[in-house]
Chain A
């Protein structure tokens, strides 16, 4: 089975179902909405960071639901991989600091057998939006990400409660001390406004009372310490509930609120389905209801990924790739591993510096990823990655990748690259493209690099 015979236009993804129940029903390929490589690539971009040719073919052969099964529960030993990388990251954080840690996390994203877990960890990093510059220790940031990863697809109650005892979260929000006599409102406000309920769903009194529930929490020498005498054990009234609430109770109260489930479901839809469309409340309602019952974020993610809506035109190429998706997608497709410390610097210049969210709301994302300056920088990054020398060396070789998959001739190699990177979403004559770049000296390898660079500049490639 070749790419040509199985590729179809992404625009052939079915129309968006109008009925919310129908929207979240599992997608079943059929005559009107066939499963093809374009949709397989769509799934692997959203649920991970892109895919190699072999992975695409594997997903196509397995079908959508089986592929999602593997994305949720990988067959490879993800636990062993995580243990090895935890060790690398901890050592790098101790030895090289935050920059080395970024390099290792990007490397993990490139090589993980569980890309959905890593992608969702990235979601939570932006959602929690702790300012890494205040943590003072790369090791705390590594522990922070480890915590996010542990429950990224798990129980949101456990995750939120754990974050209240996570030094990087407390330091990152200026909440390293909260005295009974002077409750620190910063984390409480952030929790209500950005992590759970959302603006307008709470009052200033709720913030003050939530802050009282969080008193007694301190960060000392990089460790969380609960000082009982500094905790306000009195009765608090938060969002209409009353009790001697502490941190864990506060999380329960917040998760009981329909607004929390609705907000998380909405944000996840923007993360997985489309940037700009604000999902209608009716559409979100079934998701929110299911989440409010179990607080199982993994199930929420699973429902969205399996849905008709996810495989519809409303989702296909309807997200602007984040800088990480843009760069890692190219590296993964071309089956290479590059310097991730260099990549981390370039991603920071593109607006996505890991551990440095620009605001308490995290990265705005969507169209705001791209302006004239960052678009030029994206092109420069693709050029640098594919130069075959310089900072990224010759770690990416599109010509060799094409040959490895049986495309020896220059025209078939060009067709291969067009399909690999754009999945037929643009009518391109690969031969003509190749001709256009063939003026470059250096033979077929250089021509393939030039073609890959050109493809990475297309608007379709900027979209996930």
Chain B
């Protein structure tokens, strides 16, 4: 579809020039126009607050300050688009934002059906204006076709008593009173029209799963979404993706709880709400009993009150993941979970046997770790006396809790030093510098730290990537810290000091938090590297690459915080995702 066609369809959305209410009419719910086999449906019930957040003055100011926007605003296509918007604003005697708000005052619904058919139903409030504006746009399209010496681009036909329009034989649309129906094909449009005429079978509105999903969505939602997981799960591509997740041990460890719940559920209902500057999506799966003996039971909190721990408050934190995973139980089920990877796992187990001096991995090593574990990623601060790497990688760390820390302390220390020794041996074989092991203290905690010598470094502002790593091991009480950098290990120790032991979030098995501002800061620190990478990966000029990278950083900064919580919450399997937007963020 060409830009001009997109503009035409987009313009169709700007069709409500008069205040709502003048010609309100009773309409059947959009869901009763959507075929019952829809796999995905999104209903925007209260569009005004959403539009204010995404298209309001602040958001517009942010978007127009983006480098990519500034680069494109001089292009002919963009000027054409602006010209069209101005033309419509003049015709409607209002600005585009007001027009858009009026257009969507009745909400709109989007649905995807098997085979890729898509349907968008927009409820406006002024049928006369809808018709007259439609006429204007058709006139523009016809004039354009004539100018290009091409045949008629717009055609129409009658179906179920309604005029169906097509534009360049791509997509189709129809106007019924104040409702505009856009479809990806004429067939999809006809199916919707037949449903509204009562000539076809059941609609989505009559599907019990959809009804249940709607009920599960909160009443104050700005939007609801529905996903037919049973139908979606039969799609070969989805099946493949779920299978791959099952076969990869790391992915299974991280995602199995969620993936298993999705696999077992027949529908997912989502409610989108706006809380101050945050977009909050709460998704609920239909009631299922999570099998305490099933393959994903290692991610199932064992007792009431168990769950993932709250995140640690750390400086420069980019991301935090808190999980409830019973590692011993996970590894004990390896033969059932990954039957085709037995040889790799045996190799892994043998290696672990070397590090842990013959201890049995499941019962004597992994069983030491309590299920609540936390992972953190943070931007690094570099010691100026050592220097700064050219590529600044974030530090990452795992914080585990041990059942018998005193008995296990030397075991883990020995394994850690063996691992460092192996790294050094391997690097030594390649004549590469190795790690120097040191013992340092932080408060009353002794840490084992390993570092690369920077003696002889020629340019301390452009150190090698290895200087991002200064691996550290620390034990504080029953907490075990494994960190890629000494600095992060120290920050974690401070955080553990300051945070009283917090109660877990009962029922939650996965908590994830991403800090957009900190991510933007990390990307900014690697700006030159990212620009260079963009140039050779996309064939961009330096100016193009600068604009793209700066836009990406600005978008990262726009997301102040992204939070995800998943687990058995309030009696059902739920996911809660919240995106807190920072619309005040300045773009570079």
Range for the number of chain B residues in contact with chain A: 20 to 34
Interface residue? A131 (CB, 8 A): no
Pick from B433, B535, B538: contact of A221, CB below 8 A: B433
Residues of A within 8 A of B (CB): 88, 91-92, 94-96, 100, 103-104, 106-107, 136, 176, 219-222, 336-342, 392-393, 395
In the assembly, what is the distance between CA of A100 and CA of B532, in Å? Answer: 9
Additional 18 contacts, C-beta under 8 A, given A176-B431, A221-B433:
A91-B462, A92-B532, A94-B390, A94-B462, A94-B464, A95-B390, A95-B532, A100-B532, A100-B536, A103-B537, A104-B536, A220-B431, A221-B432, A336-B539, A338-B539, A339-B537, A392-B539, A393-B538
Residues of B within 8 A of A88 (CB): 532, 535
Whether the pair B541, A96 counts as a contact (CB closer than 8 A) is no
- Closest residue of A by beta carbon distance from B463: A94
In the assembly, what is the distance between CA of A254 and CA of B536, in Å? Answer: 40
In the assembly, what is the distance between CA of A281 and CA of B529, in Å? Answer: 51
Q: Is the interface of A mostly helix, strand, loop or mixed?
A: helix
Interface residue? B157 (CB, 8 A): no
Whether the pair B390, A103 counts as a contact (CB closer than 8 A) is no
Residues of B within 8 A of A96 (CB): 533
In the assembly, what is the distance between CA of A147 and CA of B533, in Å? Answer: 24
| Distance from A52 Cβ to chain B, minimum over Cβ atoms (Å) | 16
| Distance from A118 Cβ to chain B, minimum over Cβ atoms (Å) | 16
Residues of A within 8 A of B540 (CB): 337
A337-B464 contact given A95-B529, A95-B532, A221-B431, CB 8 Å threshold = no
Interface residue? B528 (CB, 8 A): yes
Residues of A within 8 A of B532 (CB): 88, 91-92, 95, 100, 104
- Closest residue of B by beta carbon distance from A340: B536
In B530-560, the 8 Å CB interface with A consists of: 532-533, 535-541
In B417-446, the 8 Å CB interface with A consists of: 430-433
Whether the pair B536, A94 counts as a contact (CB closer than 8 A) is no
Q: 8 A-B contacts, Cβ less than 8 Å apart? A: A91-B390, A92-B536, A221-B431, A221-B433, A222-B432, A337-B541, A339-B536, A393-B539
Q: Give 1 or 0 for each of B296-329: 1 = CB within 8 Å of chain A CB.
A: 0000000000000000000000000000000000
| Distance from B379 Cβ to chain A, minimum over Cβ atoms (Å) | 17
Whether the pair A136, B431 counts as a contact (CB closer than 8 A) is yes
Whether the pair A103, B536 counts as a contact (CB closer than 8 A) is yes
Interface residue? B465 (CB, 8 A): yes
Residues of B within 8 A of A222 (CB): 431-432
Whether the pair A94, B431 counts as a contact (CB closer than 8 A) is no
Interface residue? B391 (CB, 8 A): yes
In the assembly, what is the distance between CA of A95 and CA of B431, in Å? Answer: 20
In the assembly, what is the distance between CA of A336 and CA of B535, in Å? Answer: 13
Pick from A91, A176, A221, A395: contact of B539, CB below 8 A: A395
In B138-196, the 8 Å CB interface with A consists of: none
In the assembly, what is the distance between CA of A196 and CA of B465, in Å? Answer: 38
| Distance from A273 Cβ to chain B, minimum over Cβ atoms (Å) | 33
| Distance from B528 Cβ to chain A, minimum over Cβ atoms (Å) | 7
Residues of B within 8 A of A (CB): 390-391, 430-433, 462, 464-465, 528-529, 532-533, 535-541
Whether the pair B431, A341 counts as a contact (CB closer than 8 A) is no
A136-B432 contact given A94-B465, A95-B465, CB 8 Å threshold = yes
Whether the pair A136, B430 counts as a contact (CB closer than 8 A) is yes
In the assembly, what is the distance between CA of A342 and CA of B533, in Å? Answer: 12
In the assembly, what is the distance between CA of A234 and CA of B520, in Å? Answer: 62
- Closest residue of B by beta carbon distance from A171: B431
Residues of B within 8 A of A219 (CB): 431
| Distance from B304 Cβ to chain A, minimum over Cβ atoms (Å) | 49
Whether the pair A91, B431 counts as a contact (CB closer than 8 A) is no
In the assembly, what is the distance between CA of A392 and CA of B539, in Å? Answer: 8
Residues of A within 8 A of B536 (CB): 92, 100, 103-104, 106-107, 339-341
Pick from B432, B533, B538: contact of A95, CB below 8 A: B533
Residues of B within 8 A of A341 (CB): 536-537
Residues of B within 8 A of A340 (CB): 536, 539
| Distance from B97 Cβ to chain A, minimum over Cβ atoms (Å) | 32
In the assembly, what is the distance between CA of A219 and CA of B430, in Å? Answer: 10
Which of B432, B464, B532 is packed against the most chain A CB atoms within 10 Å?
A: B532
In the assembly, what is the distance between CA of A80 and CA of B432, in Å? Answer: 33
| Distance from A330 Cβ to chain B, minimum over Cβ atoms (Å) | 13
In the assembly, what is the distance between CA of A395 and CA of B536, in Å? Answer: 13
A94-B432 contact given A103-B537, A107-B535, CB 8 Å threshold = no
In the assembly, what is the distance between CA of A60 and CA of B322, in Å? Answer: 68
In the assembly, what is the distance between CA of A412 and CA of B533, in Å? Answer: 38
In the assembly, what is the distance between CA of A340 and CA of B540, in Å? Answer: 10
Whether the pair A94, B391 counts as a contact (CB closer than 8 A) is yes
In the assembly, what is the distance between CA of A106 and CA of B535, in Å? Answer: 12
- Closest residue of A by beta carbon distance from B541: A337
In the assembly, what is the distance between CA of A92 and CA of B464, in Å? Answer: 12
In the assembly, what is the distance between CA of A88 and CA of B533, in Å? Answer: 10
Residues of A within 8 A of B430 (CB): 136
Q: Pick the 9 closest A-B CB pairs, nearest first.
A: A103-B536, A338-B539, A95-B391, A337-B539, A339-B539, A395-B539, A136-B430, A95-B529, A340-B536
| Distance from B546 Cβ to chain A, minimum over Cβ atoms (Å) | 14
Residues of B within 8 A of A92 (CB): 532-533, 536
In the assembly, what is the distance between CA of A342 and CA of B432, in Å? Answer: 29
| Distance from B468 Cβ to chain A, minimum over Cβ atoms (Å) | 11
In the assembly, what is the distance between CA of A88 and CA of B462, in Å? Answer: 13
In the assembly, what is the distance between CA of A92 and CA of B534, in Å? Answer: 11
In the assembly, what is the distance between CA of A348 and CA of B400, in Å? Answer: 45
In the assembly, what is the distance between CA of A104 and CA of B534, in Å? Answer: 11
Residues of B within 8 A of A342 (CB): 537
| Distance from A204 Cβ to chain B, minimum over Cβ atoms (Å) | 29
- Closest residue of B by beta carbon distance from A344: B536
Residues of B within 8 A of A103 (CB): 536-537
Residues of A within 8 A of B533 (CB): 92, 95-96, 100
In the assembly, what is the distance between CA of A219 and CA of B431, in Å? Answer: 8
Residues of B within 8 A of A338 (CB): 539
Residues of B within 8 A of A336 (CB): 539
Residues of A within 8 A of B535 (CB): 88, 107
In the assembly, what is the distance between CA of A222 and CA of B528, in Å? Answer: 25
In the assembly, what is the distance between CA of A94 and CA of B430, in Å? Answer: 17
| Distance from A250 Cβ to chain B, minimum over Cβ atoms (Å) | 24
Residues of B within 8 A of A136 (CB): 430-432
| Distance from B460 Cβ to chain A, minimum over Cβ atoms (Å) | 14
Residues of A within 8 A of B391 (CB): 94-95
Residues of A within 8 A of B465 (CB): 94-95
In the assembly, what is the distance between CA of A393 and CA of B533, in Å? Answer: 16
